[in-house]
A and B are shown apart, each in its own frame.
Chain A
């Protein structure tokens, strides 16, 4: 895609708003539509757009293979770890009410944590799958 200046310039303008929108969907999921799953996919799509326009090898400089692999497992570990934290604080597995003094605040904290875990795993999974299919990995 080296001969397409319009695509190269317009994609550079788009990538930052896409990342910002992904973060908005991630942290606004409690109030509006969206959540970790959708946010992860949108976050990954920014990197995929970059890879389509500038090539996978350039995108891998920003998001190397070892980083996506670590993030891939970190997300699941955050989710499972939140559940274990609930057990250690005296509740049932994934019963977030015990995380803070007020049960409803604990629930909100727990939901935020696990949504973050979901978002991390989903985005790195999508990036990994695309980069593997598109080559250079």
Chain B
């Protein structure tokens, strides 16, 4: 057992630090990279590291979603989009000092706000006092499934999940209307010009 002063350092603590440092390095490299293919790959790696971090934090359902959506599908979708654009990011010459100031101040405020937050996993934290005990202790009797994440998402928070499903439906419908329609129009006009050539 490793100790630092009065605190015991667990293996999960070391893992947390290593993974968070890896995420920091990935995020910094994302800022400085110019090649869009490399940027997409790095954001996939960022998501995958986050997924591993969620496993360490015992939230396997979130990790599963992050790995399949963040690291998997969105990387593939970005690559498909890359085929429609240039391979390099456009270089911006002038510096926007006002934007830098806004970002720095917002970041500092967010960092300052974390000081007031309860420690991670604190049983006395408000988030663990409100409805969470009912979900943990009663969901087996009230809803049934042994996985309480499923009972929370599908039964207790059924309205939210319905909303999320509608959002995904709307996203796909939007893609069909915008990209699909534009392509169809281009194809018909190409057909028309072909007919004219003949």
Contacts and interface: CB of A to CB of B under 8 A. Distances in A.
Interface residues of B, number: 45
A13 interface: no
B2 to A, nearest CB: 31
Contacts of A45: 68, 72-73, 76
A67 B40 CA distance: 30
B154 interface: yes
Contact of B179 (A72, A114, A133): A133
B150 A110 contact: no
13 contacts: A30-B146, A31-B145, A35-B61, A38-B68, A45-B72, A69-B176, A105-B144, A111-B145, A114-B161, A122-B165, A125-B169, A132-B175, A132-B179
Contacts, number: 136
User: Looking at chain B's contact residues, is the secondary structure mostly helix, strand, loop, or mixed?
Assistant: helix
A104 B165 contact: no
B171 to A, nearest CB: 6
B15 interface: no
Contacts of A35: 61, 149-150, 153-154
B172 interface: yes
User: Looking at chain A's contact residues, is the secondary structure mostly helix, strand, loop, or mixed?
Assistant: helix
A24 to B, nearest CB: 12
A117 B171 CA distance: 16
B61 A33 contact: yes
A50 interface: no
Interface in A105-137: 105, 107-108, 110-111, 114-115, 117-118, 121-122, 124-126, 128-130, 132-135, 137
Interface residues of A, number: 49
Interface in B141-188: 141-147, 149-151, 153-155, 158-159, 161-162, 164-166, 168-169, 171-173, 175-176, 179-180, 183
Contact of B158 (A105, A114, A129): A114
A133 B77 contact: yes
B73 A41 contact: yes
Given A45-B72, A125-B169, A30 B183 contact: no
Contact of B165 (A34, A121, A132): A121
B64 interface: yes
B172 A75 contact: no
Contacts of A107: 142-144, 151, 155
Interface of B: 60-61, 63-65, 68-69, 72-73, 76-77, 80-81, 83-84, 141-147, 149-151, 153-155, 158-159, 161-162, 164-166, 168-169, 171-173, 175-176, 179-180, 183
A115 B159 CA distance: 13
Contacts of A108: 143-145
B52 to A, nearest CB: 14
A30 B73 contact: no
A73 interface: yes
Contacts of B69: 37-38, 41
Given A75-B165, A76-B169, A128-B175, A110 B155 contact: yes
